[in-house]
Amino acid sequence: MNTTPSEQISKSPLIELKGVAKVYGKGRAAMHALRGIDLRIDHGEFVAVMGPSGSGKSTCMNILGCLDTPSAGAYLFDGVDAGELSRDQRALLRRNYLGFVFQGFNLLNRTSALENVELPLIYRGTPTGERRACALRALEAVGLKGWETHTPGELSGGQQQRVAIARAIVTNPKVLLADEPTGNLDSACSREIMEVLAAFNSERGITIALVTHDADMAAYAKRIIRFLDGIIDSEEQNGGTP
């Protein structure tokens, strides 16, 4: 059966790495962080990336986030070869299509939760009234309605990470890249954060790529990819239920 162009696009991966390698340094000092990996992440997937320190998982995430570029191979985002983009174009890709959540919350300490969430929209040039409304909705979506005027110092670690997630999703990104988002949290807060991420994936269809050392956190994902020594060592489907 013939398919229309739109149907063909919908079946193509959102993220695709083809033979991606990353080498730091030269000669005897060269460090091969990635050794020609192939990876596909489809629209709406929730993928967990695991592996020991030095396995290449963080390097892979940096490439997916357009924070770094491959030494060899190709990175396609929604069919576009990111390697052919200029630095400014990659910055626009990050700004318009990607959201980031890190282990460190990276919030502005003297700035309210609402103002922290507004920041990506300021960079976009969104009008004041519109960005304020979007930030309020994002904070409500992560369970922080009523906490808008609090600064990070007045919030718990779990609440600060919720602010960081709200900031990441306020632009309605296609992909949320989460690098050890529960690394600084206790087990109860970690579960709460993972439930928030899982809800955004299931209810909004946001594609999520999660880096974690914690098997309990990876259990929220629907696919688990394990890195070892710069290659993908194994992949497994997962129920997405911890």
The pLDDT assigned to 100 comes to: 95
Which is nearest to 142 in space by CA: 121, 119, 158, 126? Answer: 158
Which is nearest to 47 in space by CA: 203, 183, 222, 178? Answer: 222
In a domain, 20, yes or no: no
DSSP-derived pairing of the beta strands 15-24 and 31-41: antiparallel
Inform me whether the pLDDT recorded for 102 exceeds 50. yes
Inform me whether the pLDDT recorded for 9 exceeds 70. no
| Span 188-217, pLDDT tens digits | 999 999 999 999 999 999 999 999 999 999
Q: Domain of 102?
A: 43-68+88-237
In a domain, 52, yes or no: yes
CA distance 210 to 16: 16
Inform me whether the pLDDT recorded for 239 exceeds 60. yes
Top pLDDT among 1 and 188 is at 188
In a domain, 83, yes or no: no
Inform me whether the pLDDT recorded for 8 exceeds 90. no
Angle between helices 113-124 and 87-97 (to 10 degrees): 130
Beta bridge partners, 72, equal 21
Q: Report the first-to-last Cα separation within the chain, whole angstroms.
A: 39
The rounded radius of gyration (Å) of the Cα atoms in the chain is 18
Dihedral sign (CA 94, 95, 100, 104): positive
In a domain, 31, yes or no: no
CATH of the domain at 63: 3.40.50.300
| Span 179-191, pLDDT tens digits | 999 998 999 999 9
Q: Would you place residue 2 in the very low, low, confident or very high pLDDT band (cuts 50, 70, 90)?
A: very low
The pLDDT assigned to 227 comes to: 97
Dihedral sign (CA 113, 145, 65, 88): negative
Q: Would you place residue 11 in the very low, low, confident or very high pLDDT band (cuts 50, 70, 90)?
A: low
Inform me whether the pLDDT recorded for 78 exceeds 80. yes
Inform me whether the pLDDT recorded for 1 exceeds 90. no
The pLDDT assigned to 4 comes to: 42
The pLDDT assigned to 28 comes to: 87
In a domain, 127, yes or no: yes
The pLDDT assigned to 240 comes to: 74
Q: Would you place residue 38 in the very low, low, confident or very high pLDDT band (cuts 50, 70, 90)?
A: very high
In a domain, 195, yes or no: yes
| Span 120-174, pLDDT tens digits | 999 889 999 999 999 999 999 999 999 999 999 999 999 999 999 999 999 999 9
pLDDT above 90 coverage of the chain, percent: 88
Give the total number of structural domains in the chain.
1
In a domain, 10, yes or no: no
In a domain, 232, yes or no: yes
